[in-house]
């Protein structure tokens, strides 16, 4: 930063401060200016309040949409996990059932084989 730029910035800041104080003193001394300034501030504040309310409403709606999407995704993942668990449980039951059938078939084959051996003796 150049020293010349720095001195210009400081000088500008000083002038802004002196101008603001002068305006404040003039407003404080003159009843009409004071009333006008207060009225302008109230109008600006009312306008800003309306703008902020609209912006707040929009932000609330956007946040609600984001939250709803997150909750839907979370519920979808839980439902998917529940479905996977159910599928896994059903799959395990099918495997266990199949294994039991194979065991029963094997036992039946052993019994039949034993009977065949007995009849051949």
CB 28 within 8 A of CB 34: yes
pLDDT at 96: 77
Using CA atoms, how far residue 51 sits from 48, 64, 110, in Å, is: 5, 20, 87
* pTM metric for this prediction: 0.43
Residues 6+ apart with CB under 8 A from 26: 33
- Digit-coded pLDDT (tens) for 8-39: 999 999 999 999 999 889 888 988 888 888 89
pLDDT at 11: 94
Rounded to 5°, angle at Cα 12 from 6 and 17: 125
pLDDT value at 108 more than 70: yes
| Token reading at 84 | 């996977």
Give just the sign of the alpha carbon dihedral 93, 97, 100, 102: negative
Rounded to whole angstroms, the Cα distance separating 81 from 9 reads 63
What is the secondary structure of 64-89 as a DSSP string? HHHHHHHHHHHHHHHHHHHHHHHHHH
- Considering only residues 121 and 60, tell me which one the structure prediction assigns the higher pLDDT: 60
């Amino acid at each position: 930063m150049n020293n010349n730029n720095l001195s210009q910035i400081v000088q500008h800041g000083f002038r802004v401060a002196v101008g603001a104080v002068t305006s404040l003193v003039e407003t404080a001394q003159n009843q009409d200016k004071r009333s006008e300034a207060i009225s302008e501030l109230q109008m600006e504040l009312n306008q800003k309040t309306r703008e902020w309310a609209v912006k707040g409403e929009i932000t609330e709606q956007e946040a609600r949409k984001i939250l709803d999407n997150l909750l839907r995704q979370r519920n979808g993942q839980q439902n998917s996990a529940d479905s996977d668990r159910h599928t896994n449980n059903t799959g395990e039951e099918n495997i266990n059932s199949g294994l039991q059938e194979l065991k029963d078939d094997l036992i039946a084959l052993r019994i039949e084989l034993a009977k065949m051996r007995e009849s051949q003796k």
